[in-house]
Amino acid sequence: MNHDRKCLIYLVIIFLFFGFSPSAFSQDDSQTQEGTASWYGSQYHGRPTSSGERYNKNDMTAAHNGLPFGTKVKVTNLTNNKSVVLRINDRGPFRGSRIIDVSEAAAKKLDFRNNGLSDVKVEVIEWPYDMADASSATEKSDNYIIKTGSFAKPEYALELKQKLKAFDRHLKVELVEESVKGRRVHRIKAGNFDNKQEAEAFNELLAEEGLNGVVMGV
């Protein structure tokens, strides 16, 4: 067998094994992934993660090799249908074809701590804010808003919108669809403030309910 033909066969094998990997994220709006999950605990407790945070085995966090730090995902154990929402703050896992490494606390809630591994579905719920958005918050403007979410699915954005309206029924809340770095996101814009100080003061009130976001000039 000549050298060129050998190379062609190797390329086909690589394509078959990796090109159709079931762990790859789908390209639809749901941003879902299915595969094997593992967990890590006491051995890494207190050590720095890839994001710079200290790993806390009791926090609802996870390691992923593709998603940006700060991304919130819903992880569902496919064997018992139990789900948790986790924040990506680390890189991994680095063994086999595993797709996500969850904290020990998350493994307990998903009920696979004793098994060590489980088949799961990972669904992106909320994307982190982009640095471009954060930097524009300091620009002078005639009006200010609060961006309080950047979601992969509109239903999650609508849920936040309802919480904001329940917090203040007079608050102006707008759901908009935008494209950020090639991803379709559904964002919530709250308020219409005359100055940055007023917007920041209201954002502090929202923070008490876990509804705060980023103050931005418009």
Contact residues for 80 (Cβ-Cβ < 8 A; gap 6+): 110, 111
The larger pLDDT score, comparing residue 48 to residue 1, is at: 48
Residues 152, 30: contact at Cβ < 8 Å? yes
Question: In the predicted model, what is the mean pLDDT of residues 136-160?
Answer: 82
Summarised one tens digit per residue, pLDDT across range 4-20 is 554 444 444 433 333 33
Reported as a single tens digit per residue, the pLDDT across 118-132 is: 999 999 999 886 544
Residue 5 structure tokens: 């033909």
| CATH 2.40.40.10, applies to 23-126 | yes
Q: Residue 44's pLDDT is what? A: 94
Average pLDDT, stretch 142-167? Answer: 92
Q: What's the pLDDT at 123?
A: 95
Residue 211 has pLDDT above 60, yes or no: yes
pLDDT tens digits for range 69-100? 999 999 999 999 999 999 999 999 998 899 99
- Quote the CA–CA distance of 85 and 76 in Å, as a whole number: 9
* Choice between 58 and 135, residue whose per-residue pLDDT is larger: 58
Q: Tell me the domain boundaries of the chain.
A: 23-126, 131-217
At the topology level of CATH, where does 131-217 sit?
Alpha-Beta Plaits (3.30.70)
Mean pLDDT of the chain: 84
Rg over CA atoms, the chain = 21
Percent of the chain predicted with pLDDT > 70:
80
The reported pLDDT for the residue numbered 128 is 85
Q: What is the pLDDT of residue 13?
A: 41
Per-residue pLDDT, 144: 94
CA distance 197 to 173: 19
User: Are the C-beta atoms of 185 and 150 separated by less than 8 Å?
Assistant: yes
Residue 149's pLDDT band (cuts 50, 70, 90): confident
49, 90 Cβ separation under 8 angstroms: yes
- How high is the pLDDT of residue 140? 62
How far is the first Cα of the chain from the last one, in angstroms, to the nearest whole number? 66
Residue 25 above 60 pLDDT? no
